[in-house]
Amino acid sequence: MLTSQVGTCEKIDEYVCNQKLGNMTIAQQTPEAPTVASSKPLRNGRWAGYTHLLMARMREMVREPEVLFWVFGFPLLLALGLGIAFRNKPADATSIVIVAGPEAEHTLALLQGSQQKSLIRAEVLDAAQAHRGFRIGRYDLVIESHGKGELQYLYDPARPESVLARAEVDDALQAASGRKNPLSTSAVISSEPGSRYIDFLIPGLIGMNVMNAAMWGVGFALVDMRQRKLLKRFVATPMRRSDFLLALASSRLLFMVIETGVLLGFGVLVFHMRVLGSVLAILFIGALGALGFSGLGLLTASRARKIESISGLINLIMMPMWIFSGVFFSYERFPAAIHPFIHALPLTALNDALRATILEGAAFSSQAGRLLILLLWGGISFVLALRWFRWT
């Protein structure tokens, strides 16, 4: 019967035909009357509101391509870019320049005859070009000759590679000119996974990502909802406010697990990173971090009415932690006097706990102090936020 109707479709008006077929399918699919189901009174359970709020939040996140990029794509690109830029090259040659002059060829010959010749790449240029190259960072050291047997090194003590170049070149030239070493030394190379820059970087990126995602995902999202009067619309219903906040925090936790898994997996697969601690411990630390920063995000968002002001506030709060909390480089470089301040920052606590667990396989209990710092930041922020929070 169906085929005969389809056959006639080509002849008669397509619209009418579709209508007929449409009606027929509906009639076949719904044998019982649909009104019976809809007239039955619905009753919502205790957690209906929470579940729907959580699902709505997850859907909104997944359907926003920009959010997905900032949460997943951006940290991966950062890890990839920095991992490649700072990868351990087999021999990182030092680039130096010799100012052209009567002694230049001799100096060059000495360097090329030295034991370190593979580590030093030297060129001969006139004074102006040499100095310019040094200024823009192409060369780490400039060698200039002042008469026979007298060399002058031009270097920048603020540039570690420049300091290194001076030491290396001086060592090479002295040895090549016949220096005898009074002490016999030998060196062993160590660049095992676990001590490379990428190993340092990945836990830092995980920590930073947990912070970014929680501050934006809670703080910004709340002010956005307040500006759109959606918060007011929600509290005009019997919705439990605690369910709303709980749903927001739960969505952060779920995303944190995925984000952390992706970054860690990326480190393991692409850079052959070794994860010494248990994955469960890592996720637990990440969860405490996500909750701590969610509390901070809630506090930041408690009064702001405009998304412009919350963006500024979030950046203001996060900036010191980007710099001080050891995301991209160790905070040991800062003066010891400010270390207590650095240790008190929540991102420092999170990063340190993550590094100790991931890189050193530290026991979970040994991180109690750092976790307490996270808990205090989150807890105090949450209590203050509840007092100040503006729902309408």
Partner 1 sequence: MPAAIQCRDLRKTYDGKVEAVRGLNLEIQAGECFGLLGPNGAGKTTTIEILEGLLDPTSGEVTIFGHAWVKNSREVREWLGISLQETRLSEKLTVRETIELFASFYREPRSSDEVLNDLQLGEKADAFVGKLSGGQRQRLAVATALVGNPKILFLDEPTTGLDPQSRRQLWDIIRNFQRGGGTVLLTTHYMDEAERLCDRLVIVDHGQVIAEGTPPDLIERLGGHHVVEFEASGSSGGAGNLDAWRGLPSVESVRHDNGLVSLTVHEPHLTIPALLDAVQKQGAQLLHLSTRQASLEDVFVNLTGRHLRED
Interface with partner 1 includes 44 (CB under 8 A)? yes
Check residue 42 for interaction with partner 1 (CB under 8 A).
Answer: yes
Instruction: Report the site for partner 1 in 211-230 (rule: CB under 8 A).
Output: 228-230
**What's the Cα-to-Cα distance from 292 to each of 160, 210, 380, 382, 383, rounded to whole Å?**
37, 10, 9, 9, 12
Question: For the chain, how far is it from start to end, CA to CA, in angstroms?
Answer: 61
Out of 6, 12, 24, 48, point to the residue binding partner 1 (CB under 8 A): 48
Residue 130 interacting with partner 1 (CB under 8 A): no
Binding of residue 64 to partner 1 (CB under 8 A): yes
Minimum distance from residue 205 beta carbon to partner 1 (Å): 27
In this chain, which of 30, 186, 365, 392 binds partner 1, going by CB under 8 A? Answer: 392
Based on CB atoms, which residue is closest to partner 1, 64 or 360?
64
127 near partner 1 (CB under 8 A):
no
Contact flag: residue 38 with partner 1 (CB under 8 A):
yes
Give the shortest CB-49-to-partner 1 separation in angstroms: 5
Task: Give CA–CA dist 262/51, Å, rounded.
Answer: 25
* Residue 51 binds to partner 1 (criterion: CB under 8 A): yes
DSSP type of residue 309: H
121 is a site residue for partner 1 (CB under 8 A): no
How far is Cα 78 from Cα 70, in angstroms, rounded to an integer?
11
Does position 3 interact with partner 1 (CB under 8 A)? The reply is no
Strands of the sheet containing 120-125, edge to edge, are: 120-125, 94-99, 141-145, 151-154
**Span interacting with partner 1, options 43-51, 196-204, 315-323, 327-335, rule CB under 8 A:** 43-51
**With CB under 8 A, what is the number of residues at the site for partner 1?**
30
| Long-range contacts of 149-157, Cβ-Cβ distance < 8 Å, separation of 24 or more | 151/103, 151/107
CB of 1 to partner 1, least distance (A): 29
**CA-closest candidate to residue 256, choices 221, 310, 292, 220:** 292
The CB-of-48 to partner 1 minimum distance in angstroms stands at 4
The only residue of 236, 276, 279, 368 in contact with partner 1, by rule CB under 8 A: 236
Using the rule CB under 8 A, is 63 a contact of partner 1? yes
Site for partner 1 contains 306 (CB under 8 A): no
The verdict on 53 binding partner 1 (CB under 8 A) reads yes
Is 232 one of the binding residues for partner 1 (CB under 8 A)? yes
**The amino acid at 22:** G
Alpha helix segments (H runs only) across the chain:
2-9, 14-29, 34-39, 48-62, 65-68, 74-85, 104-112, 127-135, 160-176, 197-214, 221-227, 230-235, 241-271, 279-300, 307-324, 339-344, 346-360, 368-388
Please, which residues bridge with residue 99 across strands?
A: 125
CB 247, min distance to partner 1, A: 11
The H or E element that residue 143 is part of is strand 141-145
Query: With binding defined as CB under 8 A, does residue 146 bind partner 1?
Result: no
Query: Which letter does DSSP use for residue 328 in this model?
Result: S
204 and 351 in contact (C-beta within 8 Å)?
A: yes
Q: Does residue number 157 form part of the binding site for partner 1 (CB under 8 A)?
A: no
Q: Decide: is 49 part of the binding site for partner 1 (CB under 8 A).
A: yes
* Interaction of residue 43 with partner 1, rule CB under 8 A: yes
Which residues lie near partner 1 (CB under 8 A)?
A: 37-38, 41-44, 48-49, 51-53, 55-56, 59-60, 63-64, 228-230, 232-240, 392
